[in-house]
Amino acid sequence: MNLSGVWLPIITPFRDDKVDFESYKKLIEYYIGKGISGIIPLGTTGEGPTIDGIEYEAIIYKTMEFVDGRLPVFVGLGGNNTKKVLKELKTVEKYKVNGILSVCPYYNRPDQRGIYQHFYSISQETGLNIIIYNIPYRTGRNIENETLFRLAELKSIVGVKDSCGDFKQTADLILNKPEGFSVLTGEDMIFYSTLLLGGDGGILAASHINTESFVKVYDFIKSNDHESALKLWKSLHEFIPLLFQEPNPAPVKYWLQRKGLISSEEVRLPLTEISLGLKEKLDSI
């Protein structure tokens, strides 16, 4: 599966500490019409760590029902206990999802051998496509490019969400990526730069807002209209930092609630709603 374009790591709307499926359906309908390439529920932006087992399966079920085959769906599924991840795969495989987004094991900080064996084990256990998520500032461990290239040799591992935090590593990854292996940035601020280097797209929390503009930047660059891409990117570049000034996805949820796309900006602890100061800044744009 060749992955490209703008992928939406969709938020999970809550109301009174329950998943608000009415708002969730509204979100999916709204974004399907915006030109995105796929939807990823239950990632970090979807507050996956605070979703319990019953809710987790219900969200997958409802996502597939609401999407109804119109876009690919990759489900967030990862952890630092390989055996537990393999068990949870069985839940995901009940539904006709296209694949999973799986984060590097965190906290116990395995070396490169352990990282390889973790993802190798997942790939051997499922026929689902796998996007690896490399985000060292959250996990405490970087997946080195050499390890990624070895993993890319496995048929089911189709790409990486790259949030390594080192642009040299990102550049080396893109310029040397194996055929058929996609590099999707998870760093919203370097979406434009990633595309210019030859990256395949992005999994972008910020694309909840001005979605069509992110899609147009991608389309302009792929059609070699770099002047139009840069002009549009400058307008996006100004507001993206505000969405990460306080912990994601709280700023995005505030904007979505103001837009009328969700009924509440509620997030789950340990996250909290954004400050009044940030609300005023977001309102101003």
Answer positive or negative: Cα dihedral of 220, 226, 232, 237.
positive
CA distance 181 to 2: 7
Q: Which residues of the chain have pLDDT under 50?
A: none
Catalytic residue among 133, 192, 218, 254: 133
Q: Is 161 a catalytic residue?
A: yes
Residue 87: partners with Cβ closer than 8 Å, 6 or more residues away: none
Residue 202: partners with Cβ closer than 8 Å, 6 or more residues away: 6, 7, 184, 185, 186, 188, 191, 194, 214
| HEC secondary structure over the chain | CCCCEEEECCCCCEECCEECHHHHHHHHHHHHCCCCCEECCCCCCCCHHHCCHHHHHHHHHHHHHHHCCCCCEEEECCCCCHHHHHHHHHHHCCCCCCEEEEECCCCCCCCHHHHHHHHHHHHHHCCCEEEEEECHHHHCCCCCHHHHHHHHCCCCEEEEEECCCCHHHHHHHHHCCCCCCEEEECCHHHHHHHHHHCCCEEECHHHHCCHHHHHHHHHHHHCCCHHHHHHHHHHHHHHHHHHHCCCCCHHHHHHHHHHCCCCCCCCCCCCCCCCHHHHHHHHHC
Q: Please answer whether residues 73 and 61 qualify as being in contact, where contact means their C-beta atoms are separated by less than 8 angstroms.
A: no
The pLDDT of residue 2: 77
Q: How many residues does the chain have?
A: 285
Strand partners, 76: 101
How confident is the model over 46-96, as pLDDT tens digits? 999 999 999 999 999 999 999 999 999 999 999 999 999 999 999 999 999
Catalytic residue among 31, 56, 116, 161: 161
Domains in the chain, CATH or no CATH each: 5-284 (3.20.20.70)
Name the nearest CA neighbour of 97 among 48, 62, 132: 62
The pLDDT of residue 285: 86
Q: Which two tokens stand for residue 223?
A: 């059609």
The pLDDT of residue 68: 98
Q: Is 133 a catalytic residue?
A: yes
Q: Which two tokens stand for residue 145?
A: 């490019």
